[in-house]
A and B are shown apart, each in its own frame.
Chain A
Amino acid sequence: MTMNNVGRPTAPGAAATASGHTSLTGARGLLQDEPLIFELGGWDKTGVDFDPPDHDAYDLGDLVRTAPIGIPGLSEPETLRHYVRLSQKNHAIDLALYPLGSCTMKHNPRLNEKMARLPGFADLHPLQPQSTAQGALELMDRLAHWLKTLTGMPAVALTPKAGAHGELCGLLCIKAAHEAAGNGDRRRVLVPTSAHGTNPATAAFVGYSVEEIAQTADGRVDLADLEAKLGPDVAAIMVTNPNTCGLFEREIIEIARITHAHGAYFYCDGANFNAIVGRVRPGDLGVDAMHINLHKTFSTPHGGGGPGAGPVVLSEALAPFAPAPWLVHGPDGLELVEEARDQAAQTFGRMCAFQGQMGMFVRAYAYMRSHGSDGLRQVAEDAVLNANYIKAVLSAEMTPAFPDGPCMHEALFDDHWLEGTGVTTLDFAKAMIDEGFHPMTMYFPLVVHGAMLIEPTETESKRELDRFCDALLALARAAKAGDVERFTGAPYLAPLSRLDETMAARKPKLTWRPEHATPLAAE
């Protein structure tokens, strides 16, 4: 069998119970215990007032639903309380540094929210006549111009709805290009071991077999291994740059060259574009396709897990295969071409209904315009500066995975420094919660033991960086001093202590049902 053990305990085990005072109701000061919406009794209420319909009889016979639906409703004040109480159980960028490596948790400017809510954008129907939406199409065109200029690429497909959706778009372009050239028998995609999970998942989703490229001791693609694995059956390589170890691939131009020499395309995972925006153009590195996570580099809010947006920039070779719809400048203004009009069209198809994440386009464009070419360059510089500062300061107690040379926008540590302390990477991360910080990305990339990947982003002040580093250094010293319980039982001060993921997975409860409801505070 394959052993895919990542060493994380998933049952709370010996996690300690919080000591000291408990309230009589389960509340903790301002933090309320909040039941599910289904437990608040709103079976015959509504928080929305409607006029009664003019026709009360339906003409739909037995197509009408007669059984209860099972959805409670609440008045507006009750609804606000419920969701505001829930919101207070979340960590957020607006509360403190949120150092999730690879996720680029930067400040979300509120101007962008305001712009996206202008009725001229928010209240547009995707299929209303294009003559009534010229301003929206113009915004998409300007966004496309910025993305193409910043990446040095000639074309962009705007419709993909997230990073992984962009990867899918890029690989579908590559597959279509190979098929058009009579190279449909190229079946393999090469992906470094350190890649995001979406890369191999995407390649497999479009029917490719996936092979891993080895990594060198200094955390980069092993060129010799890549060259050995390239061949006439390789369709593409998928390389993240800067890579998931937070390092720039020094040999990137050579990687592109040998990939092209073997007739394969170079897909670049652009998740880490924030590190180089305004300073380096992927087009100058030999990239054929790259998705841009607008929700990372261009700061559209993560919203607890989306929505994102993942436009894909394309080289001349791949541009003809881009998905519908696309924009053209016509005699009457901008036109969205929604269907291929002739047999010569080479588009691979369609990624989604309509034209992509317009709400995210508005926010990303407002972000770009606010920064300008000079501000975006400063974004990359400050993001890299902040990461290197954290790496330098934390190296006093922690072991960087790649100590030599600078990192880019994120600092990667391994767990060597925890050896013999009885504290794991997971424990350490959970103890950060008690100190008021969200943990860093843990156990990723897979190539580094007990990985801790810290991405501060450029929107942190030096004061906040120092506060963060002081907290981590204090924790590191506590771990080395044998204060193990501080870690193994952590978090003590969060809304909940460690959760039993084993129980959740063995007997999944995925919806509320009256018969299996458990009491809010099981004694």
Chain B
Amino acid sequence: MRYLPLTPDDRAQMLGVIGAADIDALFADVPAAARKRELFDLPKRAGELEVERELGALAARNRPAGDGTFFCGAGAYRHHVPASVDHIIQRSEFLTSYTPYQPEIAQGTLQVLFEFQTQVAALTGMDVANASMYDGSTACAEAVMMAKRVTRREKAILSGGVHPHYAAVTQTIAHAEGMTIVRQAAAIDAEAAVIDAIDSTVACVVVQTPNVFGVVTDVTKIAEAAHAAGALLIVVTTEAVSFGLLKSPGEMGADIAVAEGQSIGVGLNYGGPYVGLFACREKLVRQMPGRLCGETLDAQGRRGYVLTLSTREQHIRREKATSNICTNSGLCALAFTIHLSLLGEVGLRQMAALSHSRARELVGALNGVCEVLTPRYFNEIAVRVPNASAAVEALLADGIVAGVPYSRLAPEAGLDDVLLLAVTETTTSADIAALSAALKGRLGR
């Protein structure tokens, strides 16, 4: 077997050193009833060629986003990732290293995390950021739990514009923790409706901008209302590229900003792995979940980095930890950091402006075809298309993946005629024209 270096001779020699008669002797502690003598009913070993053939055949049965006209967003976005990003993350020293518990021989990973934290704090306009969470949805749930610890209150209000999966993940975790989640009814442009639900028992309000319908909201007033009641404002963003064009959560008064970082550096990957961004005000840092990298000096006075404030974490605090998270999303954070280091402020602003410009083009092209429901958008809009699910299935015949029906995310919401369309710099004018023509044909206009 190509991955196993021991030869039969090695094994015999090593058993001799150990003083064991055979390999079974080393499994002597396994109860006899549980020892499997025969091989399991699964195929036997396969060479590279055979494995490539099988997986290649499976991959060929899928329709990659890049194969043609494509408008899916709703929490995952197809942006172009420079080739050098993937090259660097495949270097052995990044790919095959562990969490940097021995800082003397992990400065590469640690310095990257420090750069990542700084970039995330800058994008979100917050003071500090952690070294990543699993994804945006789990970051959102963790933020709500953090608000409970900070305020010692047990209720959270979620706006009707929060991504339904994010809301479901938060509800799942909150239910287990005995926290109450008030989830407002799905609403296209009503983030500010959370204000009416704020009272002195509320730990936090959670709003999203751009929200799941693509609507961009200035949340300053929501922040003021939350703070007046002693509650925290958590701002969720699922499209990290929007930070290149829009006012940051920090500028608008957020206490915690969480985001999905997938659209910078990571790719679609059919839903994972992604990278959760988590940033907050400095005074809240000791209640933050996840790993943090900090600057320090070595014994010779040279600058270096270490994991720090670890007493918040499970390996020390155990049942009193701020979160149970251990492994996070290190390699995706590296990809994010490299892509953002290539872009810089100049490139990120261009990429965001291009994405927004494509959305304007899309809105223009849909004029007279269908109703655009999103008044202020970045790169994603909601449009009214009767039976949106059926429309998406029907447009596949034209080679068009025509976005995400909202009902797929929240079948119970009764918004079967809402279709979510996202564009990025990868979307072409021809794509937009094709979608517009196909929708026109279907809607008979």
Q: A368 to chain B: which residues have CB within 8 Å? A: 42
CA distance A321 to B323 in the complex (A): 23
Q: Is A86 an interface residue (CB 8 A)?
A: yes
Hey, which chain B residues are within 8 Å of A17, CB to CB? Answer: 299-300
User: Which residues of A sit under 8 angstroms from B295, Cβ to Cβ?
Assistant: 504, 509-510, 512, 518
Check B118 against A38 for contact (C-beta < 8 Å).
yes
Residue of A79, A121, A281 near B36 (CB, 8 A) is: A281
Q: Is the CB of A60 within 8 A of B72?
A: no
Known: A36-B114, A307-B272, A406-B29. A280 touches B36 (CB 8 A): yes
User: How far is A505 from B114 in the complex, measured between Cα atoms in Å?
Assistant: 15
The verdict on B347 contacting chain A, using a C-beta distance below 8 Å, is yes
In Å, the complex CA distance between A354 and B274 comes to 11
Contact A121:B59 (CB < 8 A) given known A65-B246, A306-B331: yes
Q: Judge whether A37 and B342 touch: CB under 8 Å.
A: no
* A253 sits at the interface (CB 8 A): yes
CA distance A67 to B123 in the complex (A): 11
A94-B96, A126-B76, A509-B294 known; A304+B330 contact, CB < 8 A: yes
Contacts of A115 in B (CB 8 A): 51-52, 55, 59
Interface string of B114-155 (1 = CB under 8 A from A): 110111011100011101101111100000010000000000
A46, A365, A377, most chain B CB atoms within 10 A: A46
A92 within 8 A of B: yes
Name A494-512 residues within 8 Å CB distance of B. 494-501, 503-505, 508-512
Contact A149 to B135, CB < 8 A, known contacts A120-B61, A164-B314: no
Closest to A43 in B: B345
- By Cβ-Cβ distance, the 6 closest A-B pairs, closest first, are A73-B344, A120-B59, A303-B331, A354-B271, A349-B172, A135-B61
Residues in A277-310 with C-beta less than 8 Å from chain B: 278-281, 284-285, 295, 301-309
Most buried by A among B56, B244, B270: B270
B 355-383 contacts with A by CB, 8 A: 356-357, 360-361, 376, 378
What distance in Å separates the Cβ of B326 from its nearest Cβ neighbour in chain A?
Answer: 5
CA distance A223 to B50 in the complex (A): 48
In the complex, B430 has a CB within 8 A of chain A: no
A129 touching B392, Cβ below 8 Å: yes
Question: Would you call B161 an interface residue if the criterion is a C-beta within 8 Å of the partner chain's C-beta atoms?
Answer: no
Chain B CB within 8 A of A366 CB: yes
What number of A residues sit within 8 Å (CB to CB) of B?
216
Task: Please tell me which stretch of B15-23, B186-194, B198-206, B437-445 contacts chain A, meaning at least 4 of its Cβ atoms lie within 8 angstroms of it.
Answer: B15-23
CA of A244 to CA of B179 in the docked complex: distance in angstroms?
Answer: 33
Q: Which residues from B are CB-within-8-Å of A201?
A: 314, 317-319, 321, 323-324
Flag if B166 contacts A353 (CB, 8 Å).
Answer: yes
Residues of A near B47 (CB, < 8 A) are 370
Q: List 12 A-B contacts (CB under 8 A).
A: A59-B376, A74-B344, A80-B87, A123-B65, A124-B269, A129-B396, A132-B63, A307-B327, A338-B408, A349-B171, A388-B20, A510-B285
CB pair A89 B15 closer than 8 Å? no
> In the complex, what distance in Å separates the CA atom of A122 from the CA atom of B335?
14
| Per-residue contact bits, chain B 397-415, to A (CB 8 Å; 1 contact, 0 not) | 0000100100011111000
Interface assignment of B112: CB less than 8 Å from any CB of chain A: yes
Chain A residue nearest in CB terms to B50: A369
Residue on A nearest B272 in the bound complex, by CB: A357
**Are B331 and A301 touching (Cβ within 8 A)?**
yes
Residue contact B92 to A138, C-beta cutoff 8 Å: no
Q: State whether the Cβ of B421 lies closer than 8 Å to any Cβ in chain A.
A: no
Question: Are B123 and A69 in contact (CB-based, < 8 A)?
Answer: yes
Give every chain A residue within 8 A of B45 (Cβ-Cβ).
370-372, 374-375
Q: Does B348 belong to the interface (CB within 8 Å)? A: yes
Residues in A neighbouring B171, C-beta threshold 8 A? 349
- B13–A120 contact, CB under 8 A? no
Complex alpha-carbon distance, A104 and B23, angstroms? 20
Taking the complex as formed, is A403 at the interface, i.e. its CB lies under 8 A from any CB of chain B?
Answer: no
Question: A359 contacts B272, CB within 8 Å?
Answer: yes
CA distance A210 to B320 in the complex (A): 10
The answer to whether A125 touches B65, judged by C-beta atoms less than 8 angstroms apart, is: yes
Most A CB atoms within 10 A — which of B95, B347, B396? B95
Interface pair B316/A197, CB less than 8 Å apart: yes
The answer to whether B348 touches A323, judged by C-beta atoms less than 8 angstroms apart, is: no
Q: Does A23 contact B (CB under 8 A)?
A: no
Q: Which of B76, B245, B260 contacts A127 (CB 8 A)?
A: B76
Q: How far is the CB of A8 from chain B (nearest CB, A)?
A: 11
| Pairwise interchain contact B109-A204, C-beta atoms closer than 8 A | no
- Contact across chains for A50 and B351 when beta carbons are under 8 A apart: yes
Min Cβ gap B259→A in Å is 12
Chain A residue nearest in CB terms to B111: A86
Does the CB pair A58–B245 fall under 8 Å? yes
Q: Which residues of B contact A16 (CB under 8 A)?
A: 299
B104, closest chain A residue (CB): A494
Q: Determine if B338 and A71 form an interchain contact, defined as CB atoms under 8 angstroms apart.
A: no
User: How many Å from the CB of A10 to the closest CB on chain B?
Assistant: 9
Stretch of A105-113, A417-425, A479-487 at the chain-chain interface: A105-113
Residues A9-47 near B (CB distance < 8 A): 12-13, 15-18, 34, 36-38, 42-47
Chain B contacts with A in 309-339, Cβ cutoff 8 A: 309, 313-321, 323-332, 334, 337-338
Q: Is the CB of B48 within 8 A of A44?
A: no
A212 to B45, CA, bound (A): 42
Q: How far is the CA of A360 from the CA of B270 in the complex (A)?
A: 11
Q: Do A351 and B172 touch across chains, with their CB atoms under 8 A apart? A: yes
Query: A198: CB under 8 A from chain B?
Result: yes
Cβ-defined contact, A175 with B105, below 8 A: no
In Å, the complex CA distance between A252 and B316 comes to 27
Minimum CB–CB distance from B401 to chain A (whole Å) comes to 5
CB distance from B194 to the nearest CB of A (A): 18
Determine how close the nearest CB of chain A comes to the CB of B233; give it in whole angstroms: 17
What is the CB-to-nearest-CB distance from A440 to chain B, in angstroms, rounded to a whole number?
Answer: 10
Contacts known (A131-B393, A134-B62, A351-B169); A305 close to B291, Cβ less than 8 A: yes
A53 touches B316 (CB 8 A): no
